[in-house]
Amino acid sequence: MEPVKFLHPSPTSSARGVTILRVVFGALLMVHGFQKFMAGHAAFAASVAAMGVQKPEIVAWLVIAGELGLGLLLVLGALTRVAGFLAAIMFAGIWFVTEAGKPLLTDKSGVTAELLIIYVAISIAFVFLGPGALSLDRKLARQSARAGR
């Protein structure tokens, strides 16, 4: 009896799955950054300042640029491992500023800051998984391999 194929995915299907996750995650980051940008830097900087962050103007620009720039890199699959690493640092920093010291479990349903935890985990996963099937990283690697022959 032949095992069910979906229980044993091929490298190609796994690479396609990573691509889907990378593009969707990157697009979501870009949407968050675009919303902050369109609302105005001053408005976002004010909300960052309200959290007690020093240099809120700089931090606000870094978050907006991080979400837009890293999101774009992830959508394109360019410098994917670096973008994943930097995104993980960004989201860990956001977690530290907004959620540190709060209990993980409270009387509310879910986990405190679970979305930030998921963002950090997905970002770190790209450091290990790479870009997936359709990406600039993979295209450049293939071109480099052909040129090296």
Domain boundaries, the chain: 13-147
**Helix pair 80-99, 114-129: axis angle to 10 deg:** 160
Q: Which residues partner with 111 through β-bridges?
A: 105
pLDDT band at 148 (very low <50, low <70, confident <90, very high): confident
**Residues in CB range of 63: below 8 A, 6 or more apart:** 33, 36, 44, 48, 90, 94
pLDDT band at 4 (very low <50, low <70, confident <90, very high): low
* Stretch 17-24: mean pLDDT: 95
| pTM for this model (two decimals) | 0.85
Question: Would you state the structure tokens that stand for residue 44, as one six-digit string?
Answer: 């976002």
pLDDT at 7: 66
State the CB neighbour count (10 A cutoff) for residue 5: 9
The pLDDT tens digits for 46-102 are 999 998 889 999 999 999 999 999 999 999 999 999 999 999 999 999 998 887 777
User: What's the chain's average pLDDT?
Assistant: 88
Which of 88, 111, 112 is closest to 98 using CA atoms? Answer: 112
CB 21 within 8 A of CB 122: yes
pLDDT at 110: 67
* Stretch 14-30: mean pLDDT: 94
User: Is residue 111 helix, strand or coil?
Assistant: strand
* 139 vs 7, higher pLDDT: 139
Cite the DSSP H helix spans in the chain: 11-39, 41-50, 56-76, 80-99, 114-129, 136-147
* Stretch 4-8: mean pLDDT: 64
The pLDDT tens digits for 102-138 are 767 777 776 667 888 899 999 999 999 999 888 999 8
pLDDT at 114: 82
Res. 3: pLDDT tops 80:
no
